[in-house]
Amino acid sequence: MNASFFLLGLAVGSFLNVCADRLPRRQSLIRPPSHCDVCQHRLCPLDLIPLLSYLYLKGKCRYCGAPISYRMPVVEAATGITFVVLWSRLGFSVELPLAMLFACLFIIIIVIDIEHHLIFNRVIYPAIGLAFLLPLLSANYEITSAVLGGVTGAGILFILVLIFPAGIGMGDVKLAALVGLLIGFPEIFIALFVASLVGGVVAVGLLLFKVKGRKDAVPFAPFLIAGFTVAVLYYNEILGFLVNVV
Ligand SMILES: [Zn+2]
């Protein structure tokens, strides 16, 4: 079963790459069919096999030799691994397809934020709308805690926007609202705590290794989503640790 979810994740990841390419350009996700952005040659079915086609073609377009971004296989593999993890934790349940759907949205948001330093309204608003439907779909979901989580997440990030307008944007506020809606209250605090911890460590690392300069913007969405993921997986362990330290 793990292999089936991994293969499904690879195929979905391939579509997420298309979304991450086309959503920022306001292009249709379906038409035109997949093609090389450099030579415009339409890709054949063999070129569309996730992961393997990239490895077989050694990361170059079959027709013109232009390099294919390593982001393609990375997103495919990451989606595959995410689907296996979700399946192993949730099993066959109502929550499984919902978690897979939000994982896909998060992957698109991370890729676009890294590449464009933007979180697009056309991605985040439908995701927030979908989060409000969760109480109708899943019994494990409490609307009061969700709304409180969403308001807290958005509120704290909004204060950060006022303090560091260059580093954090309104897109991050909306994403924090979504994360809060999904994780609830008081879990949102742990998600934001982990996000700032990981963000801080990575930012210092990027500065030390001179990958980024002091004035370069570092996208915050990957850290928010990392904080959310860690908080969902290890909430009790982190809380226990913090209580012991304090
Ligand atoms: Zn080409």
pLDDT tens digits for the chain (246 residues)? Answer: 899 999 999 999 999 999 999 999 999 998 889 999 899 999 999 999 999 999 999 999 999 999 999 999 999 999 999 999 999 999 999 999 999 999 999 999 999 999 999 999 999 999 999 999 888 888 878 899 999 999 999 999 999 999 888 778 899 999 999 999 999 999 999 999 999 999 889 888 888 887 777 677 778 999 999 999 999 998 888 888 888 887
Q: How many CB atoms lie within 10 A of CB 39?
A: 12
| Cis peptide bond N-terminal to 97, omega within 30 | no
> Ligand 1 centre and the CA of 117: distance in Å?
27
Q: Exposed/middle/buried for 157, CB within 10 Å: 0-12, 13-18, 19+?
A: buried
Q: Exposed/middle/buried for 241, CB within 10 Å: 0-12, 13-18, 19+?
A: exposed
Can you say whether the dihedral through the CA atoms of 198, 12, 120, 184 is positive or negative? negative
d(CA 123, CA 171): 10
> Ligand 1 centre and the CA of 73: distance in Å?
17
Greatest Cα pair distance in the chain: 61
Give the chain's length. 246
Residues with Cβ within 8 Å of 233's Cβ and at least 6 positions away in sequence, in order, are none
> Ligand 1 centre and the CA of 57: distance in Å?
12
Q: Which residues line ion ligand 1, judged by CB < 5 Å? A: 36, 38-39, 61, 63-64, 66
What are the structure tokens assigned to 14, written together? 């391939």
> Ligand 1 centre and the CA of 197: distance in Å?
41
